[in-house]
A and B are shown apart, each in its own frame.
Chain A
Amino acid sequence: MNRSNLMQDARAATLLVLATTTLGIHPAHADDSEAGKLARGKYLVTIAACNDCHTPWREGPAGPEPDMSRMLSGHPQSLPILAPAPISIGWLSATAPTNTAFSGPWGVSFTANLTPDRETGLGKWTQATFAQTIRTGRHMGRGRKILPPMPIPMYKNFTDADLAAIFTYLQSIPPVSNRVPEPLPPAEPAGG
């Protein structure tokens, strides 16, 4: 290989590094292996802040923090909520201390169990079910509409590869048996 070719290769490599850095392409993105998908999925679940709402919070030494022993298991069935929260004038919504239940004009929504538990989580889901759920904004890809604050309008822009990676990772985490409640309807208007 002559010097000219070497220089060309070096320039090409530099451009590739610059391009991936500038475009924010994660190195694992191009890795189609199961391990690559798993790593990519873990990365996406982390930066997309799934734990913020799908992992119940507890009071830690430095304040509220996700309880990773119940990672991504959704709103705890042991904390029943039977009615919407009263919302003060000027405010839109209220949040449960676990950050897994949200009360607002839509009623009360509870975050889903994303672990692979077969009866209460995503254990019977397929990758297609998961992708359709995010794309359509419907529960199980076919059912009722997914409620706020799940950021479906943003997440539906994930690529197919991203959704496949996320699902691969979610199927690898420890299953947690936790039956999340059904959503509650909005409160009846006062005096209505």
Chain B
Amino acid sequence: MSKPLWHSIVAAALMSMLGGALPRVADSEIVEQPLPFRLRDTGLYTEGRDLQIDARNLAFSPQYPLWSDGAGKRRWIYLPPGTAIDGSRPDAWEFPAGTRLWKEFSVRDERASAAFGPKVRSVETRFIERLADGSWRYAAYVWNEEGTDATLAHADGIAALPVAGAPNGRYVIPSQSDCRACHEGAAVPVLGFSALQLSTDRDPLSPHAEARSGIDLRGLIARGLIVNLPPSLTDTPPRIAARSPVERASLGYLHGNCAHCHNDSGAGAPVDLILAQSVAPEAAGAERVLRSMIGTGSRFRAHGTSSDTSLIAPGRPDASVLIARVSSRNPRTQMPPLGTRLQDNEALALLERWIADPSHPPEELKP
């Protein structure tokens, strides 16, 4: 083990022993402390109960989940008592200081402990928290094989954690800079917890869609956990204004998997591609996204091609850069560039079907 890693673990362990557990925000004010060494000290679980989720943490499930090589996921959010999300910017919710989110990743493993159900083993739980100064911090906690405890990973992550059930038996724990690379490219670093993702009008064709569970937009409104939402969102659950179910699901998939970099928030990748759907009342719905995708050249050039290439070549998935990059798992060209080493075949089939259909995109948007 490298010296910095060893020092970091000892320091974190000492902090934990000295009472490094995060205070609840009800404790009058938010005080930034080092990240707890143990996941159980982040506030996810009820104190004194073995891995029982604290009732103050609300489970949720986005309708367009991020593809993570088929890993199972559970997610929770904690909002400090007496606070609420400010939804006045409907595409960039303002979360109160002290907000915490967790996402637990699990893989199927024949040898898994019965504690997590048959054939499923928790590998890591990611944690993000908004601090008093408005910044966000990120951490990953790695579960032991028995599934009894998870401890803080080094900030550099783990490039190849041996995990049976992971692709090639190796699992990648992201570094904190990798966390920032994805989360801080969006309008707000909380991904997957937004008006569209929590809409009660869920997309039945969304790849890897999970059954709706936990808090949704309607529940947030009813419980007063979000304020200042535009009336259009409180009256009608948002949905992507696509021209067909396949287009709706395709655009939703791109929103959930690509929009954290490809958006017009000013923080994303500096390319002319918007895949983030807007639920703002004045937004032109899906059309804004379609216009940025169709008929525009791609900056990317595969070797051996000299002419301009199109992100989407209508009717021709094989000539569309979108398909080439989503299907690639060459780390130099794949999209998304982080967090996946396996093709998402279900999504690829959907996207190819969308591009191949002669009615997609609409005539007026074709080049």
Contact = CB atoms under 8 A, between A and B. Distances in A.
B234 interface: no
A126 interface: yes
Interface range for B: 20 to 34
A124 B269 CA distance: 9
B223 interface: no
B303 A181 contact: yes
Interface string B268-279: 111110000000
Given A142-B185, A142-B261, A136 B177 contact: yes
A137 B177 CA distance: 9
A140 B269 contact: yes
B303 A144 contact: no
Interface in A108-159: 119, 122, 124-126, 128-129, 132, 135-145, 147
A143 B302 contact: no
Q: Of residues A124, A129, A143, A183, which shows the largest number of chain B Cβ atoms within 10 Å of its Cβ?
A: A143
Contacts of B219: none
B32 to A, nearest CB: 20
A182 interface: yes
B332 interface: yes
A184 B303 CA distance: 8
B270 A138 contact: no
Interface string B329-367: 011111001000000000000000000000000000000
Given A82-B304, A124-B271, A142-B185, A185 B178 contact: no
A139 B332 CA distance: 10
Contacts of B261: 142-143
A36 interface: no
Given A142-B337, A144-B332, A144-B337, A136 B180 contact: yes
A32 B131 CA distance: 29
Contacts of B180: 132, 136
Contacts of A141: 181, 185, 269
Contacts of A139: 337
Given A132-B181, A181-B303, A182-B303, A143 B270 contact: no
Q: Of residues B266, B270, B272, B301, which shows the largest number of chain A Cβ atoms within 10 Å of its Cβ?
A: B270
Contacts of B303: 80, 82, 181-182, 184
B182 A135 contact: no
Contacts of B269: 129, 140-143
B227 to A, nearest CB: 30
B304 to A, nearest CB: 7
Nearest to B184: A132
A145 B185 CA distance: 16
Interface of A: 80, 82, 107, 119, 122, 124-126, 128-129, 132, 135-145, 147, 179, 181-185
10 contacts: A80-B303, A124-B272, A129-B270, A138-B177, A142-B337, A144-B331, A144-B333, A179-B301, A182-B332, A184-B332
